[in-house]
Amino acid sequence: MEAIRPEVRFARYEDFRRWAESQPGYWILVRGVPMPSPSPSRIHQLLSLRFELLLVEAVLQRELGEVYYAPLDVKLFEDTVYQPDLMVVLQEHQDRLRETHIEGAPDLIVEILSPSTARMDLWEKRLDYEAAGVQEYWVVDPDSRTVELYAREGERLIPVDRARGTGVLRSRLLPHLVVDVERLFEGV
C-alpha cells in the first residue's frame, strides 16, 4: 500500500482526522503519511464476521470488554493511526475509548489479509502494534487458509501458534476464544 499524496503529512491525530473527514473513502496514518484503506472483498467480510462472532461469544457475552470492527480509528501514536479489522478492548482498559476512536493499543487485534495490505499487516502494522502494547495479534490469510497467533512476551509480539486448513488455536489472553480453522474457512 502506497501513499497517494506523500507530500501531505500529519504530526497530530486531530489534524489528520479533520483532513480525512473531507476525503472520499477510509484512511489510515502511517508515521505521519496518510494512506487509503481499500474496501474489503466479500470473502474478507465473511471471515471478519465469523471471527467477530467468536469474539462476541468470548468477550461480550462474558462481559470482559468490548468488541469493535473496521472502520474505527486506533490511534497508536500521534502520527500512526490504523483501522484494524477487529479489535477487543478489555474492561480494565475502557479509559482508552473515545467517542471517535481508540486512544492507544486495543488488547487484541485481528487483521484479515488482502493482497494489497498483506505486507503492511505482516510487518509494519505488527511492529507498530508491538510497540504500542497490543497483547495479542491474530492474522487470518484467506489465500493459504492460515491463521497465525502472536502473543506478547515482554516487549515483543512473538508467533505462538499457527494452523493451516485445519487445527485449533486458543487465545492466551481470552480463555474462551478458540478458533477452529477448518470451520472458519468452511465454504470459502
pLDDT in tens, 135-169: 999 999 999 999 999 999 999 999 999 999 999 99
pTM exceeds 0.75: yes
Query: Phi-psi bin for 79: left (phi > 0), alpha (psi -120 to 50), beta?
Result: alpha
Q: In this predicted structure, what is the pLDDT of residue 38? A: 81
Task: At 165, list the grid cell.
Answer: 486448513
Cβ count within 10 A of residue 188: 11
Q: In this predicted structure, what is the pLDDT of residue 6? A: 61
CATH number of the domain where residue 120 is located: 3.90.1570.10
Q: Is residue 19 part of a domain?
A: no
What is the C-alpha separation between 66 and 68, in angstroms, rounded? 7
Q: In this predicted structure, what is the pLDDT of residue 79? A: 95
Q: Is residue 143 part of a domain?
A: yes
User: Quick check: 140 and 154 in contact, CB under 8 A?
Assistant: no
Dump pLDDT digits (tens) for 118-137.
Answer: 787 888 999 999 999 999 99
Q: In this predicted structure, what is the pLDDT of residue 5? A: 59
Look at the chain and count its residues. Answer: 188
Helix (H, G, I), strand (E, B) or coil at 59: helix
Number of independent structural domains in the chain: 1
Q: Is residue 74 part of a domain?
A: yes
Q: Is residue 113 part of a domain?
A: yes
What is the C-alpha separation between 53 and 59, in angstroms, rounded? 10
Q: In this predicted structure, what is the pLDDT of residue 37? A: 85
Q: Is residue 32 part of a domain?
A: no
Q: In this predicted structure, what is the pLDDT of residue 40? A: 87
What is the domain range of residue 73?
39-184
Q: Is residue 56 part of a domain?
A: yes
User: Residue ranges of the chain with pLDDT lower than 70?
Assistant: 1-6
